[in-house]
Amino acid sequence: MRRFCEDLFIVEISSVSTEALVTLHAELHRHLGGSVVPRVLWRYFQRSNADLADRFPNYPEFEEFYTRPRNTLDEYLELHTLVEKVQTIDTLPYFVYRLIRGAYIFENLAYLELRYTPYLRTPEHLSQSQRIEQMAEIVQVVGKSSQLSEYPIVTSQILCMHSRLPYEVNRAIVDLAAQTPEYVCGVDLAGGDAQYADRLDEFITLYSYARSLGLNTTGHLYETKSGCYPELLPYLMRIGHGIQIPLLYPELLKSVADRRQCLEVCPTTYLKTGTLSDLRQLKVVFDRCFEAGVDIAISTDNAGLHNVRLPFEYESLLTQDIIGFQQLQACQEAAFRHAFAYPHNQTPAKLLTELLDHKQMAHASL
């Protein structure tokens, strides 16, 4: 995890108004695979992958192919495999560097949890046990590559169990998360929620095991109509998406609020996966959650795949009157509150305002 450098801020804040500081955001739900923006991926193909460079000789066609909406979640998840294949132990530093740089410069991120399935970054020709063994190295590479002194974001990883991977692999992912707290802050379950049904007991066991190891948990759940499994809910500290709870099962909101679970709502995803046809359908989600006292952290999910950055997600919710400024601020604060690895009990804005006040008081007393 990246050290949150207060000293660095103290040096800089004397010339900055406190209002400027509220532009520091926390991102809780972003996939490493879907984070590569189309131009970075296309350039990578041109430089290093002759097959894919031949398939996509021109950038505009590639961007169109990469970012166009899909009909279903499964079809959308297929695209991840294109990126997963090129994100290897050797190329990960290239992609992670560009991801962190973009997140700092264009999104003002102060905090970022990056999630992925480490097993899917290991070479396919290796045996299962060899691939499991190599996962630790992947986590190290991602962890080290995300620590950039010129772009100081607090980062940590969430390791995703995968609904299409065998139990042994998922259990090894949980073990690895517990063994590397310096880089990993929690576990997730991804890969398409319609696939959970046949193996529900297995995933309950895995989550229960993760909790017994003291791990933080989130999981893709109640994202689509076919991904609603109340049995899994009690094991999660945050819910990946969860929008079907307020939409279809509002009676569950009280227990979600009682458990202090936060929904990670990723607006653009629902349009890209065909889960919603209009973003304004999210108004009910926000209204019901606010009414029930359920926190929401607005996230991007796959910022690169969508070609949409976090501030744009905020702006589009505001301009379409889905939420107001006060609600937006509540969601931004909730993101820091529910962050698994944020080392402070206040948002950067409040923290820095306090530091400024403190500094002014110290000056006045001289």
Residue among 49 and 229 whose Cβ is closer to Zn ion: 229
Residue among 115 and 131 whose Cβ is closer to Zn ion: 115
**CB 170 to Zn ion: min, Å:** 17
Residue among 161 and 352 whose Cβ is closer to Zn ion: 161
Residue among 4 and 207 whose Cβ is closer to Zn ion: 207
**CB 159 to Zn ion: min, Å:** 13
Query: Does residue 107 interact with Zn ion by CB under 5 A?
Result: no
**First CA to last CA distance, the chain:** 38
**CB 90 to Zn ion: min, Å:** 25
Instruction: Name the one range near Zn ion by CB under 5 A: 83-91, 228-236, 300-308, 356-364.
Output: 300-308
Instruction: Name the one range near Zn ion by CB under 5 A: 116-124, 231-239, 299-307, 328-336.
Output: 299-307
Residue among 120 and 351 whose Cβ is closer to Zn ion: 120
Of the candidates 337, 209, 336, 222, the residue with the CA atom closest to the CA atom of residue 285: 222
**CB 116 to Zn ion: min, Å:** 10
**CB 125 to Zn ion: min, Å:** 28
Among 27, 113, 295, 301, binds Zn ion (CB under 5 A): 301
Q: Give φ, ψ of 86 to 5 degrees.
A: -95, -10
Residue 262, SS3 per DSSP: strand
Residue among 295 and 301 whose Cβ is closer to Zn ion: 301
Instruction: Name the one range near Zn ion by CB under 5 A: 55-63, 121-129, 142-150, 298-306.
Output: 298-306
Task: State the CB neighbour count (10 A cutoff) for residue 48.
Answer: 13
Instruction: State the alpha helices, DSSP H only, in the chain.
Output: 6-13, 18-21, 38-48, 50-55, 59-67, 73-86, 92-107, 128-145, 167-179, 200-212, 244-248, 253-258, 267-272, 282-292, 303-306, 310-319, 325-337, 348-364
Contact 24, 110 (CB under 8 A): yes
Q: Report how many residues bind Zn ion under the rule CB under 5 A.
A: 1
Contact 194, 226 (CB under 8 A): yes
Percent helix, percent strand, percent coil in the chain, to nearest 5: 55, 15, 30
Q: What is the Cα–Cα distance from 136 to 231, expressed in whole angstroms? A: 30
**CB 209 to Zn ion: min, Å:** 22
Instruction: Report the site for Zn ion in 176-235 (rule: CB under 5 A).
Output: none
> Measured in whole angstroms, how far is the alpha carbon of residue 159 from the centre of its chain?
11
Residue among 175 and 223 whose Cβ is closer to Zn ion: 223
Binding positions for Zn ion, rule: CB under 5 A:
301
